[in-house]
Structure 1
Amino acid sequence: MRNSTSIIIVVIMLGVIVFSLVSPFMPQEEEQHQKDAKMPDKLHPVVEKKKNKLIRRAEDKGINVVITEGFRSVEKQNELYQQGRSDESNIVTNAKGGESYHNYGLAIDFALKRKDDVITWDLEYDGNNNGKSDWLEIVKIAKSLGFQWGGDWQHFKDYPHLQMDFGLTIRELQNGRWPPKEDA
């Protein structure tokens, strides 16, 4: 009887130890509730604020940047994913709906507006005549604001793409983890 009581106590203590080691890695109640949270339907407030700063700083350099895309619905993402796969056009994305930072309001795409009001994606265009690519000047400003640039990606260069992932993966976003609403 005494041995069985000792064994039960040891088993309980081991259970408490294992639980204390594992519990920090288990989803917290708040995260579980977020899985039921509504998907975003607009740009994240921090991304919106940084986008506006990007536009103002570009204007200060004599560059007219145009935001061609911000938040993108899952349905729209699926339509873009089909481009070049279901028709003769070029593939424009490798991300299906729910697999793009656009779907979570964490990405924007941009282009340049020339002095003749034509929108261009010309990476070498120098409309402010300072001997530097306006495109790369925009990228430099964006990076200083905390954006990551799709032109730095290894496998699929997405030159118009800027995103802020807040350290979250697509998988984490799909599971309901959201970035904070304000700058840290």
Structure 2
Amino acid sequence: MPTELHPIVASNMQELITQAKDIGINILITDEWRSIEEQNALYEQGRSQDGSIVTNVEGGESYHNYGLAIDFAIELDNGDVIWDMAYDGNKNKQADWMEVVEIAKSLGFEWGGDWKNFKDYPHLQMDFGLSISELQRGKRPPKEKDA
């Protein structure tokens, strides 16, 4: 099992942060690679543990477990972190959240907000055409672009 963010995902994450900053949007990466134990703890939230359900997948069933996913939020100038999808902090009459999503998509990320079931608005992933089942069987994406 991977123990860190995939290098292409990490590089594109940094590019996402840079491009968002260039248009006046500060984003915070709130999660990236996640261990199976961390995933299982998140899965229990809202089930056997207090809180709201935040995931429908157990350890080994998340692209985070394979270093192929990140979650983000908007960071305000005062340091507050928000998940407000309508906020327009750069005052260009476009929601900052959706501007970040468009940049992410241009970099090859898939957005959890486009999913039909259980929309995951902070979630971005690069699956390299691999299913969770393939990843569970040990298949891994190339470490370099065009490999």
TM-score interval for Structure 1 and Structure 2 normalised by the shorter chain: over 0.9
113, 122, 131: which is aligned to 1:160?
A: 122
Aligned residue for 2:37? 75
Counterpart Cα distance in 2 of 1:148 and 1:54: 13
Asked whether the equivalents of residues 78 and 97 of structure 1 are also in contact (C-alpha less than 8 Å), the reply is: yes
Unmatched 5+ stretches in structure 1: 1-38
Counterpart Cα distance in 2 of 1:88 and 1:177: 35
Aligned residue for 2:73? 111
Task: Report the Cα offset of residue 88 of structure 1.
Answer: 4.0
Counterpart Cα distance in 2 of 1:101 and 1:164: 8
Aligned residue for 1:98? 60
Counterpart Cα distance in 2 of 1:90 and 1:135: 22
Aligned pair count reads 146
Q: Percent identity?
A: 62
Structure number with greater Rg is: 1
Task: Report the Cα offset of residue 87 of structure 1.
Answer: 3.1
**Do structure 1's residue 130 and structure 2's residue 64 form an aligned pair?**
no
Q: TM-score, normalised by structure 2?
A: 0.98
Question: 1:48-89, CA deviations, whole angstroms, 9 ceiling, x for partnerless residues?
Answer: 000000000000000001000000000000000000001342
Unmatched 5+ stretches in structure 2: none
Counterpart Cα distance in 2 of 1:182 and 1:148: 19
Name whichever structure is richer in helix by fraction: 1
Query: Greater RCO between the two (CA within 8 Å, min separation 6)?
Result: 2
4+ runs of 1 displaced by more than 2 Å?
none
Asked whether the equivalents of residues 115 and 127 of structure 1 are also in contact (C-alpha less than 8 Å), the reply is: no
Asked whether the equivalents of residues 77 and 97 of structure 1 are also in contact (C-alpha less than 8 Å), the reply is: yes
Task: Report the Cα offset of residue 114 of structure 1.
Answer: 1.1
Question: 1:93-139, CA deviations, whole angstroms, 9 ceiling, x for partnerless residues?
Answer: 00100000000000000000012210000001111111110000000
Counterpart Cα distance in 1 of 2:49 and 2:135: 30
For the residue of structure 2 that corresponds to 1:124, the secondary structure is coil
